Amino acid sequence: TGLTWTASDEEHPGSFYYFDQTAMEETGKGSHDWNVYRLAEAYLDAAESIAQSGSVTSEALGYLNAIRKRAGLPDFTNTDKTAFIEACWTERLRELPLEFKIWDDVVRTKKFPVINEDHTVTYVDLASATNARGASFAGKSLYWPIGLLQLQRNKSLHQIDGYASK
């Protein structure tokens, strides 16, 4: 529109991260190699970690709900471990789209998020998932190849399926 906006003080904050519209809406590939970690990510990591290591505690609920409250969402109260962990993953989808960290979560959890028409999210096993373009995921998609020196030094290692060993 030709208008310029300037963040001049604390009352008018702007995005600290470069907004790459093509990456956000079309390619999913950012044009900047920035590692950005925000307090929201630390809270969501802490909430999930607490639940993964035992049960859903009031501390874990507090971390998740701090993020939800800031976003104008109601508190999450379900203490079922699986439901809570998936709620943490869903908040990561909502909270971190410009940081391009979702693929790392998919590889870590082996769960693929399916965003339904009603904007709810369900998680399916990665091995049986296909993305919006119909691609499925295999071993080569999930891991980096093992380096040749490591393979030569340790004969008990085997190359990841799909990568050639020479």
Q: pLDDT, tens digit, for every residue of 63-72?
A: 999 999 999 9
The DSSP-derived string for 59-107 is HHHHHHHHHHHHTTPPPP----HHHHHHHHHHHHHHH-GGGT-HHHHHH
Number of Cβ within 10 Å of residue 34's Cβ equals 11
Residue in 82, 54, 7, 143 with CA at minimum distance from that of residue 157: 143
Whole-structure pTM over 0.85, yes or no? no
Q: What is the pLDDT of residue 24?
A: 72
Q: Compare 132 and 67 and report the one with higher pLDDT.
A: 67
Percent of the chain whose pLDDT exceeds 70: 84
Q: What is the pLDDT of residue 16?
A: 47
